[in-house]
Amino acid sequence: MITFKTTYTCPACGSRLVFLEDDDNVWLGCDRCATYVRLSKREARRYWNYTAHRVLWRDMLEDLYGSFASAVVRG
């Protein structure tokens, strides 16, 4: 399990968002609000750059953050 704090902050409480990776999914969420969004590793494959042979983390985090922000706003 990989976990680290991102530079993104929660629109609801201002806490730093946490990124998690387990066997099947990646997650972005706020520990304080207990709100998380999930992306399956199958879906995450579209962020793999075949030329650079690396994951486009910034793009993936941007999209996860977009989902998270709308999830938090909806409550």
Residues that bind Zn ion (CB under 5 A): 10, 12-13, 15, 30, 32-33
Burial class (CB in 10 A: 0-12, 13-18, 19+), 15: middle
Least Å distance between CB 1 and Zn ion?
21
CB of 36 to Zn ion, least distance (A): 11
Q: Which is nearer to Zn ion, 21 or 31 (CB)?
A: 31
20 DSSP β-pair partners = 3, 27
Q: Which residues contact 46 (CB under 8 A, 6 or more apart)?
A: none
Query: What minimum distance in Å lies between the beta carbon of 59 and Zn ion?
Result: 23
